[in-house]
Amino acid sequence: METYLRGEDGFSQRIIDAYGREINWDYLERDLKNQDSAPGSDIYLTIDLDLQRIAEETLGERSGAIVALDVKTGEVLALVSQPTFDPEYFIHGLDKNKWNRLIKDKSFPLLNRATQGLYAPGSVFKIVTAAAALKEGVIDEHTRFYCPGSYRLGRSKFRCWKRGGHGSLNLHQAIVRSCDVYFYNTAERLGIDRFSHHIKGFGFGALTGIDLNERPGVAPSKDWKLKNLRRPWYTGETIVTGIGQGFISVTPLQVSVMTAAIANNGILLKPQVVKRVVSPNGEIVLETNPEEKGRTPVGEEIIREIMTALVGVVNEPGGTGGAARLDGVIVAGKTGTAQVISLDSKITSHELNDHAWFTSYAPGDIPEIAVTVLVEHGGKGGAIAAPIAKEIIKAYMKLKEEGSV
């Protein structure tokens, strides 16, 4: 937006001699020009200052990202990345030492984790797996799988996060309790070819179109693996993709856009950070409107079924997102705990802890806001990320009641 913000420089031309003294010379003065400076335009952001402040305070010093979107317009209400840096450094100029400290900082403060950080989505991705499987007819809402705590494929064993298993579950129960084994079964039935089509259909592996630097992530497929790794695709890789592990990588912004689409009957909106541009004389130079980027590959009937389950995640007994429950407001969401290393590993270093995810929208019956939280190496999404989303949704509802959002 620099072309709008900068305005125009003014200048005044004078004739001076070799000593820098101004002289009057009628012959040349007729060619001299003066130009008044002109102020730049004002940029009005979609960011709500109060909600942004609360989101930053709630995340605190933890590394991670928060994205809050208006589900009907795609407007970004809050966007947080931590650790960060003081932008004033770049206004006054950076010396070599300060620049070196920034670029060598192991916490990567220059990385906007919300739009550029790439992560395995973990169990929040089960939303896509479930929707794809329902659309392709490989399961329906009554399909049951038995979870003994693990899933076998040939000689390989894939663990469920619950060691003792969940027993027999239907789809609704599997989403509410986030059963891995249910989604291993589902992904194997689906197959990577059909699965990949739906992954891309939910906006993954592509830029969202936001007016900030972002990365597309990876929507894995047989062709992608052959092109990038020169190796064939294996069924085990399909299975782990079903729970948001393996080659799949996403940004928190992409997850929030996907969540907003679920809350908005399958409409994928371009996330907007600029509301309008106003010239110094008050003229509206640019005004953004909701921009539809596409629609999910699944219809409203499937969307409604997923929405019912997401309400259950937060509000039903045994739901993994109970920490996001609010009095007086129905919150819908999905927890995620993305593995950094194997579940069987005994290593306890903080840097190898799981990433904590929670993606949500509220109110559950008439959605207005989508909130996605990622805490790097935070551990369990239901315990760490869900309470953060709860506080942001709670603050949004209070600000709305006060008429300030």
3-state secondary structure of 280: coil
| CA neighbor of 267 nearest in space, from 66, 73, 47 | 73
Contacts for 192 with CB less than 8 Å, ≥ 6 apart? 220, 221, 222, 233, 237, 238, 241
Measured distance CA(138)–CA(130) in Å, rounded: 10
Residue 232's Cβ-count burial label (10 Å; 0-12, 13-18, 19+) is exposed
Q: Residue 283 has which token pair? A: 């003229």
| CA neighbor of 359 nearest in space, from 237, 211, 214, 251 | 251
Measured distance CA(173)–CA(223) in Å, rounded: 34
3-state secondary structure of 332: strand
Residue 49's Cβ-count burial label (10 Å; 0-12, 13-18, 19+) is exposed
Measured distance CA(114)–CA(81) in Å, rounded: 6
How far from chain centre, in Å, is Cα 250?
8
Measured distance CA(315)–CA(280) in Å, rounded: 50
3-state secondary structure of 279: coil
- Phi, psi for residue 307 in degrees, rounded to 5: -60, -40
Neighbours of 39 (CB within 10 A): 12
Neighbours of 225 (CB within 10 A): 18
Contact 283, 254 (CB under 8 A): no
Catalytic residue among 41, 63, 123, 221: 123
Contacts for 201 with CB less than 8 Å, ≥ 6 apart? 294, 296, 297, 298
279 is catalytic: no
- For the annotated catalytic residues, the residue numbers are 123
